[in-house]
C-alpha cells in the first residue's frame, strides 16, 4: 500500500502547483501521474526530480527519446520496479515502440541478466582489447569488424 | 580471480573449436574473448550461450544493434558486472556510440535507478492510464501527447 | 498487470503450437503455464527459452533435478521474482522437496544474503587459500577437513 | 580496500579468541579465514554470525551440506559477492563439487537470472496451479508428472 | 501468495510459543506479526532470527534505535521488500520518524541508488584520500573540513 | 578500469570549473574527488548531480548529516558499490562515525538483507497493523509500545 497520500492539485501548496503546471505544460497533458502526486509530500524532492527528468529525458540530446525510454525499461525490469515498468512502457508505446520492439528489448534484458551472472560467477577477467586507453576513448579499430561483442 | 582456466583454441575439444570458429567467422575477427574461453569449461553452456547471443544480438530485428548494446550496458551497470560493462561498452563504441551518447546513457541509467528506488519506497500505485488493456497493446492515444512519462 | 496477452493454443501460430506441444510432451502434462503463453508474443524468445530450459533443467546431468530447482529458488528469492518463486517452489515440491527442506533452503538463502552484505561492506580480501590455482581446479587438500567454509 | 583491520589471534580479546577456537575446533583446521578476522572488529557480530553459520550450514539437517554450499554460491553470484563466491566455491570443492557440477550450477544460476528478468518484465501472473493451498503444503498431484516447471 | 501457513499461538509447539512469548514481552505487545508466524514453520530459523533481531535492533548500542530502523528501511527499499518496507516504516513511525524525516530518508536512498549506478558505470577508481590506512581507522583530518563527501 | 578520463581543473571548460569551484567552496577543501572529475565528461550530468548532492546531503534538514551518510552507506553496501562505500565511509568518519557505530551499521545492513530475503522468499503478507491509513500518516498508538518491529 502507498506510504504517503496523493497530493491533489486543489490541495497543493503553491510550490507544488508550480511543478504540476510545468509538468502538464511540458507534456501537453491535463493530468499529473501518481509518481509526482506522491513525491509532492516532500516538495524539494518533487522539484528536484522533475528538473532531473526534464534534463535527462527530454529531446534534443544525442540519444533518441524512445531509446531513452527503452533504457529506462531495461533498468526498471532489472530492479523489478512495478510502477516504473508500467509507466515507461506506456511512455515508450506512446513514442512508437511496437510489440516486436518490446519483445526484442526484453530478450536483450533477459540475456544480459544471464551473462552478467555467468561473468560474475566465473569472475572472468576483462580482455585487454576491451580496456579503454587510459580512460580515454577506446580505439574502435582495435576491435576489428566486431558485429557484436562479449556477449 | 577467475574460477576456471581459459580453454585455448589449440587445446580445445572439437565441439569447442566449432563454436570458436563460428564466433570468429560471424564477427570477422581472429580472436575469441575471455567470456567464451571460460564458458568452454562447460561445452553445453558455451554452445547454448553462443546461440543465444547470435539470435538476440544480431542484426535484422526491429531494434538497431547499437541500441541493443546500449540496453546491455544499462543492465550490466545496474547489476555492476565489470566484465560486461567493459565488453559491451567496447562493442557499442565499435558500432558508433560517441562520448556524448555514453554520457547520456549513464545519465538515464542513474536517473532510472533513482526513481526506481523512490517508486518502490513510496509503494506508488500504477495509474490506470498506464495499464495495458487486458494485457493487449496499450492505446497510445489515451496518453495524450506525452513527451515523456513517469519518469 | 501483465504487459502482453496470453497466447492460447487455439489462437497460436504453428511455430508456437510446436513449442507448446513439445512442452506438454516433455512434461507429460496437458497444459502450458503462463510463462510460455506470454513469451509466445515473441516467438523466437519462446523457442529459445524453451531450448534453454530443456537443456539446463532436464535430467541426466551431474546435478539432481531437485537440486537444480532449489538453486533456481535461491536465485529467484534473491531477485524477488514472484512468478519464479511460485513456479519453481511448485516444481521442487513435485520433485520431493519437503517443508523441512524448504525451511532449510530459505535459511541458507537468508544467511547468504546477510554474509554477502557483510563481506561487501567490509570489502574483505579473499584468503589465498580460497584462490583457484591459476584458474585450475582448486586443491581440496589445502583446505584441510573443512566442514564448511567462509561462511 | 578492506574497511577494518584483521584481528589476529595473538591480539584478540578473550571473547574473540573463544570464537576463533570454536571455529578451528568445529572445522578441524588450524587457521581462521579473513571473514571472521574482520568481523572480529565488532565482537557481538562475530559471535552472532558464527552461531548463525554453525546452525545453518552444519550437517544433520534435511539438506546435504554440499547442496547448501551450492545454494550459497547461487545467492553470492546473483549478488556478485567476490569474497563469498571464492570462499563457498572452495568450500563446495572441498565437499566434492566437480568441474561438471560447478558448470551446471552456474548454468542454472544464469538461466534463472534470465527468466527472472523475463517474468518480472512481462509481469507474468502466477498460474493457479502453482499457488500453495491457503499457504499449506501444495498438492504435488495437481501438477501431474512435471519433469520441471516454469522455468 | 504466502508460501507457508501462519502458525498461530494456540497451535504452536512449545519451542515456538516460547519465542512468541519473548517477542511479546520484549515489545510489550499482545500480538505477534506475520513475519514470525510464518518463520515458525521452521522453528530453528524462528529462534535464530529472533535472537538476531534482539541483539542487533535493541537499545543500548552506539546507534539510536530510530536510526537503525531508518537504515533498515534504506536496505529494504533498495531490495524492494514489500513486507520489510511496511513493517520497518511502521516501526520507525512508532519511534518518532516524522513525514519530513521519511521524505529526506527516501531522497537519500534515491540519490544513493543514482550515484551508485554512475560510479559503477564509469568504474570510478577510489581516491587515495578515501582509503582506510591499512584497514585501520581512517584519519579524518586528511579529509579537511568536508561537509559531505563523494557524493 | 575507469571508462572515461579524469577532467582536471586546468583542462576543464568554464562550466566545469564553475562546478569544481562550488564543490571546493562548499566543502572548504582544495581538491575535487574522482567522482566529479569523471562525471565532468558529461557537463550537464556533473552540474545536475552536484545540485542533487547539495540539496539532499547538506545540513539544515530533519535528518542529521551523519545519519544521511550512514543511510548512503547502507544503500551502497547493498548495491556493492566500491567507490561509494569508500567515499561515504570516509565522509561518515569525518562527521564522527566511530568504529562501534560502523560495526552496528553493518550489522543492521546484514540483518536487513537477511530478513528481506526471508520475507520475499516466504511471500509474507503485510499485517494490517503496518498499513498506512489510506496512505496517510500511520497511527503510532496502534502499534502499542513497540520497542522495534518486524523485524
* Cell numbers given for D125: 501472473
Cβ neighbour number for residue F26 with a 10 Å cutoff? 15
The size of the C-D interface in CB pairs under 8 A is 337
- Are C87 and D151 in contact by the 8 Å Cβ rule? The answer is yes
| Contact of B23 with B53, CB cutoff 8 Å | no
pLDDT at A127: 96
Which residues on chain C are in Cβ contact (under 8 Å) with E45?
Answer: 103, 106-107, 110
Cα(B65)–Cα(B22) distance, integer angstroms = 19
> Which of chain B's residues have a Cβ under 8 Å away from the Cβ of C132?
1-4
Contacts of C80 in chain F (CB under 8 A): 120
- B78 phi and psi angles, rounded to 5 deg: -65, -35
B56 touches chain A (CB under 8 A): yes
State the nearest Cα–Cα gap between C83 and chain F, in angstroms.
Answer: 11
B contacts of E78 (beta carbons < 8 Å): 117
Enumerate residues 6+ apart whose C-beta is below 8 A from E79: C80, F78, F112, F113, F116, F120
Mean predicted lDDT score pLDDT of chain E: 90
CA distance B16 to chain A (A): 17
In chain C, domain spans: 1-58, 61-121
pLDDT given for residue C141 in this prediction: 43
Asked if pLDDT for residue C81 goes beyond 60, the answer is yes
Q: Is E99 in contact with A41 (Cβ distance < 8 A)?
A: yes
- Residues F82-112 have pLDDT tens digits of 999 999 999 999 999 999 999 999 999 999 9
Question: Looking at the partner chain, which of D3, D51, D131 has a beta carbon nearest the beta carbon of E1?
Answer: D131
Answer yes or no: are the C-beta atoms of F129 and E90 closer than 8 Å.
yes
Size of interface B-F (CB pairs under 8 A): 26
Residues of E in contact with B78 (CB under 8 A): 117
- Residues from chain F that touch B89, judged by Cβ atoms under 8 A, are 3
Flag whether residue F42 sits within 8 Å of chain B, measured between CB atoms. Answer: yes
Q: What is the pLDDT of residue F57?
A: 96
In Å, how far is D5's CA from the nearest CA of chain C? 10
| pLDDT tops 60 at residue D136 | no
In this predicted structure, what is the pLDDT of residue D132?
Answer: 84
DSSP run (H or E) holding C72: helix C65-79
Q: What is the pLDDT of residues C87-126, one digit of tens each?
A: 999 999 999 999 999 999 999 999 999 999 999 999 999 9
pLDDT of residue A132: 84
Map grid coordinates 492505446 to a residue: B139
Is F148's pLDDT higher than 60?
no
Residues of chain E contacting C102 with CB distance shorter than 8 Å: 3-4
Q: Answer yes or no: are the C-beta atoms of C108 and C74 closer than 8 Å.
A: yes
Of the candidates D56, D126, F48, the one whose C-alpha atom is nearest the C-alpha of residue C38 is D126
Q: By C-alpha distance, which of C98, B149, B137, B9 is closest to A84?
A: B149
Question: What letter does residue C83 receive in the DSSP assignment?
Answer: H
Query: Please, are residues E4 and C99 in contact by the beta-carbon 8 Å criterion?
Result: yes
- Pairwise CA distance, residues E106 & C72, whole Å: 32
> D102: which residues sit within 8 A by CB, 6+ positions away?
B3, B4, D89, D92
In contact, E85 and E79? CB cutoff 8 Å: no
| Residue (of A131, D74, F6, F91) closest to C84 by Cα position | D74
First-to-last alpha carbon distance for chain E, in angstroms, is 40
> How far apart, in whole angstroms, are the C-alpha atoms of residue D78 and residue D85?
10
The answer to whether D2 and F60 have CB atoms below 8 angstroms apart is: no
Q: From residue A121, how far is each of D70, D82, D103, E23, E112 by CA, in Å?
A: 12, 9, 10, 39, 26
**C4 close to B (CB below 8 A):** yes
Residues from chain F that touch A48, judged by Cβ atoms under 8 A, are: 51-52, 55-56
For D79, what's the count of Cα atoms within 13 Å in the CB-facing half-sphere? Answer: 38
Write down the residue that cell numbers 560495526 correspond to.
F103
Q: Which residue of B has its CA nearest to A80?
A: B116
Burial class of residue A18, CB neighbours in 10 A (0-12, 13-18, 19+) = middle
Neighbours of E66 (CB within 10 A): 18
The whole-angstrom separation of Cα A87 and Cα A38 is 15
Residues in E touching D44 (Cβ below 8 Å): 55
Closest CA to C121 of E118, D79, E61, F3: D79
Q: In whole angstroms, what is the distance from residue F25 CA to residue F34 CA?
A: 17
**pLDDT confidence of residue D133:** 67
Outline where chain D has alpha helix (H). Answer: 14-27, 34-39, 43-57, 65-79, 82-94, 99-121
Q: Which residue of chain B has the CA closest to D125?
A: B135
Chain A residues within an 8 Å CB radius of D78: 117
pLDDT at B142: 45
The minimal CB distance from D113 to the residues A85, A114, A122 is found for A114
Q: What is the pLDDT of residues D13-34, one digit of tens each?
A: 999 999 999 999 999 999 999 9
CA distance F49 to chain A (A): 9
Is B13's pLDDT higher than 80?
Answer: yes
Q: In CATH, which superfamily holds the domain spanning F61-121? A: AhpD-like (1.20.1290.10)
What is the DSSP code (8-state) at residue C70? H
Same fold, E1-58 and E61-121: yes
d(CA F84, CA F101): 18
Mutate to test the interface with D, among B5, B15, B42, B80 (most CBs of D within 10 A): B42
Partner residue opposite E89 with nearest CB, options A3, A41, A48? A3
Within 10 angstroms of residue C111's Cβ, the number of other Cβ atoms is 27
Are E102 and A45 an interchain contact pair (Cβ–Cβ within 8 Å)? no
| CA proximity to B88, closest of E20, A10, C97, A146 | A146
Whether B1 and C135 lie within 8 Å, measured CB to CB: yes
Q: Give residue E137's pLDDT.
A: 42
Q: How far apart are CA C86 and CA D150, in angstroms?
A: 9
> Given an 8 Å threshold on Cβ–Cβ distance, is B3 in contact with A123?
yes
Between CA A28 and CA A32, with CA A31 as vertex, the angle to 5 degrees is 105
Reading the block at residue D46, the C-alpha cell is 562475530
Q: What is the pLDDT, as a whole number, of residue B140? A: 46
Instruction: Report the SS3 class of residue A80.
Output: coil
Q: Is residue C133 very low, low, confident or very high in pLDDT (cuts 50, 70, 90)?
A: low
Q: Which of E64, E73, E88, E108 to mutate to test the interface with F (most CBs of F within 10 A)?
A: E108
| Position D116 pLDDT exceeds 80 | yes
Question: F80 touching C, CB under 8 A?
Answer: yes
Cα(C72)–Cα(C75) distance, integer angstroms: 5
Cβ neighbours of B117 in E, within 8 Å = 77-78, 106, 109-110, 112-113
**Residue C134: its chain B contacts at CB < 8 A?**
5
Section C52-79 average pLDDT:
96
Write the residue in A111, A121, A123 that is nearest to D109 by C-beta.
A121
- For all residues of chain F together, what is the average pLDDT? 90
Q: Say yes or no for a CB contact (<8 Å) between C71 and D109.
A: yes
Q: Cα angle at F31 between F1 and A134, to 5 degrees? A: 20
Residue of chain D minimizing CA distance to C96? D140
C-alpha cell at F16: 566545469
Question: What distance in Å separates the CA atoms of residue E43 and residue E15, rounded to the nearest whole number?
Answer: 7
Q: Which chains touch C (3 or more CB pairs under 8 A)?
A: A, B, D, E, F
For residue range D137-148, what is the model confidence (pLDDT) as tens digits? 444 444 543 444
Predicted pLDDT at D110: 98
Smallest CA–CA distance from C3 into chain A, residue: A86
Distance to chain B for A41, nearest Cα, Å: 10
pLDDT band at B39 (very low <50, low <70, confident <90, very high): very high
Of E73, E95, E88, E112, nearest to E35 (Cα)? E88
What superfamily does domain D1-58 belong to in CATH?
AhpD-like (1.20.1290.10)
Cross-chain residue pair A2–F132, CB shorter than 8 Å:
yes
Instruction: Write phi, then psi, for C6 (nearest 5 degrees).
Output: -70, 135
Q: What percent of chain E has pLDDT over 70?
A: 87
Q: Read off the pLDDT band of E111 (50, 70, 90).
A: very high
pLDDT digits (tens, 9 = 90+) for B115-151: 999 999 999 999 999 998 644 444 444 454 344 443 3
From C80, C86, C99, residue closest to E41, measured CB to CB: C99
Please give the grid coordinates belonging to residue D3. 574497511
Q: Using CB atoms, which residue from D3, D68, D123 is nearest to C108?
A: D68
> Which residue of chain E is at minimal alpha-carbon distance from C122?
E135
Residue of F nearest to C88 (CA): F121
> What is d(CA E97, CA C8) in angstroms, rounded to the nearest whole number?
50
Q: Is the pLDDT score of F66 beyond 90?
A: yes
pLDDT for the residue numbered A55: 95
What letters, b where the CB count within 10 A reaches 16 and e where it falls short, cover A54-83? Answer: eebbeeebebebbbbbbbbbbbbbbbbbbb
B99: which chain F residues are within 8 Å (Cβ-Cβ)?
4, 41-42
- Separation of alpha carbons E48 and A101, rounded Å: 48
Q: What would the 3-class secondary structure string for A42-56 be? A: CHHHHHHHHHHHHHH
pLDDT of res. C132: 84
Q: Which residues of chain A have pLDDT under 70?
A: 133-151
Where on the phi/psi map is residue B5: left (φ > 0), alpha (ψ -120 to 50), or beta? beta
Cα(D87)–Cα(C127) distance, integer angstroms: 8
Cβ distance E123 to B82 less than 8 Å, yes or no, reads: yes
pLDDT at A147 (0 to 100):
41
Nearest residue to E118 via CA among E75, E80, E78, E151: E151
Contacts of E57 (CB under 8 A, 6+ apart): E65, E68, E69, E72, F108, F111, F148, F151
Interface subset of F 102-131, CB within 8 angstroms of E: 104-105, 107-109, 111-116, 118-127, 129-131
With CA atoms as reference, report the closest residue to A63 among E113, F5, B92: B92
Is A137 within 8 Å of chain E by CB? no
Amino acid at each position: 500500500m502507498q506510504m504517503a497520500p496523493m497530493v491533489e492539485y486543489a490541495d497543493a501548496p503553491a510550490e507544488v502547483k508550480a511543478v504540476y503546471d510545468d509538468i502538464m505544460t511540458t507534456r501537453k497533458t491535463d493530468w499529473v501521474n501518481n509518481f509526482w502526486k506522491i513525491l509532492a509530500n516532500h516538495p524539494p524532492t518533487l522539484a528536484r526530480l522533475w528538473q532531473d527528468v526534464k534534463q535527462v529525458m527530454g529531446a534534443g540530446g544525442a540519444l533518441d527519446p524512445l531509446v531513452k525510454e527503452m533504457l529506462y525499461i531495461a533498468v526498471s525490469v532489472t530492479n523489478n520496479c512495478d510502477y516504473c515498468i508500467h509507466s515507461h512502457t506506456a511512455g515508450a508505446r506512446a513514442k512508437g515502440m511496437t510489440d516486436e520492439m518490446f519483445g526484442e528489448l526484453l530478450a536483450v534484458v533477459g540475456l544480459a541478466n544471464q551473462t552478467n551472472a555467468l561473468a560474475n560467477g566465473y569472475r572472468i577477467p576483462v580482455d585487454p582489447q576491451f580496456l579503454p586507453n587510459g580512460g580515454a576513448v577506446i580505439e574502435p579499430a582495435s576491435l576489428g569488424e566486431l558485429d557484436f561483442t562479449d556477449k
